[in-house]
Amino acid sequence: FTHKAWHDASDTIGKIRYPMIGDPSGTVTRNFKNMRKGQGLADRGTFLVDPDGVIQLVEITPEGVGRS
């Protein structure tokens, strides 16, 4: 729901033409191998996937490092 609120509130983000997803079940996180071992939590990550399903960019932000 956070992505939707951000999309709805931001003039800039509201114009994007690609889907943003959440992962409340952790399925995507586990498949992308971004789950913290033994914690059941995901590291903050951005994954850009092209229309053919090929990952073009991965950015993982370690715990304790902010991002904006």
User: Looking at the domain assignment, is residue 32 inside a domain?
Assistant: yes
* Domain with 44 in it: 2-61
**Assigned domain for 51 exists:** yes
CATH number of domain containing 26: 3.40.30.10
Residue 19 lies inside a defined structural domain of this protein? yes
- The answer to whether residue 68 sits within a structural domain is no
DSSP string, the chain: -HHHHHHHH-TTGGG--S-----TTSHHHHHTT-BPTTT--BPEEEEEE-TTS-EEEEEEEPTT----
Q: Global pTM?
A: 0.61
Residue 68: pLDDT over 70: no
pLDDT of 67: 63
> pLDDT at residue 5 above 80?
yes
The answer as to whether 37 is a domain residue is yes
Q: Which two tokens stand for residue 28?
A: 């995507």
Convert the pLDDT of each residue in 14-67 to its tens digit: 777 777 788 888 898 889 888 888 888 888 888 888 989 899 999 988 777 766
